[in-house]
Amino acid sequence: MRSEMEQDILKVLITEEALQKRIGELGEALYEKFQGRRPLFLGVLKGSFVFMADLVRSCPLKSDVEFIAVSSYENATVSSGRVKINHDLQQDISGRDLIIVEDILDSGNTLAFLKDYFLTKGAASITLVTLLDKPSRRTKAIAADFAGFQVPDEFVVGYGLDYCQEYRNIPYIGILKPEVYGTP
């Protein structure tokens, strides 16, 4: 039976099984790239927390884990363009090979800002990994090094992604019913 929360979902876009299979492939690709090195997985909260947990477990490298929390949507469906750091890095990243882990690359504002920010903090290299890529909405010249799935310009939630902080705990990626956020 569908939960009350799931009644707001128009359709399942990516199933749990498809997510796990693809994340396994991403983990292998990262293992190949970083074998013999010790990268720092850097999750961009909040959206990435579920993906991050599965990705690090699919990649058997000696590595470290760190988080930064930023937001730019402030409960809106379109990025404000201003990226706000809500919780900063808790360690020195100078000289480190970073694997930035995002749930979605949309306008590119967040990752463009973070890439510059981490370079000014002395990162040795930056590899961008995003679970979802929505290239149709890109306004910044930024591309992921590894992307799980290309998604259409629909409002997607679940597996860490929210609308007004809800739906992050849905285990798959779903498209939200337009009446939930109001048609533009």
- Interface residues toward ligand PRP, by CB under 6 A: 44, 46-47, 71-73, 79, 102-110, 162
CA distance 71 to 82: 8
The count of other CB atoms within 10 Å of the CB of residue 78 is: 11
Active site residue 106: yes
Q: Is the dihedral of CA 78, 80, 86, 90 positive or negative?
A: positive
Give the chain's end-to-end CA distance (angstroms, integer). Answer: 31
Nearer Cβ to ligand PRP, position 86 or 94?
86
Q: How far is the CB of 109 from ligand PRP (least distance, A)?
A: 4
Q: How far is the CB of 166 from ligand PRP (least distance, A)?
A: 11
Nearer Cβ to ligand PRP, position 33 or 140?
140
Q: How far is the CB of 105 from ligand PRP (least distance, A)?
A: 5
CA distance 45 to 40: 15
Residue from 8, 54, 103, 106 carrying the catalytic annotation: 106
By beta carbon distance, the residue nearest ligand PRP is: 47
Let me know: does 16 contact 171? Beta carbons within 8 Å.
yes
Query: Which residues are the active-site residues?
Result: 106
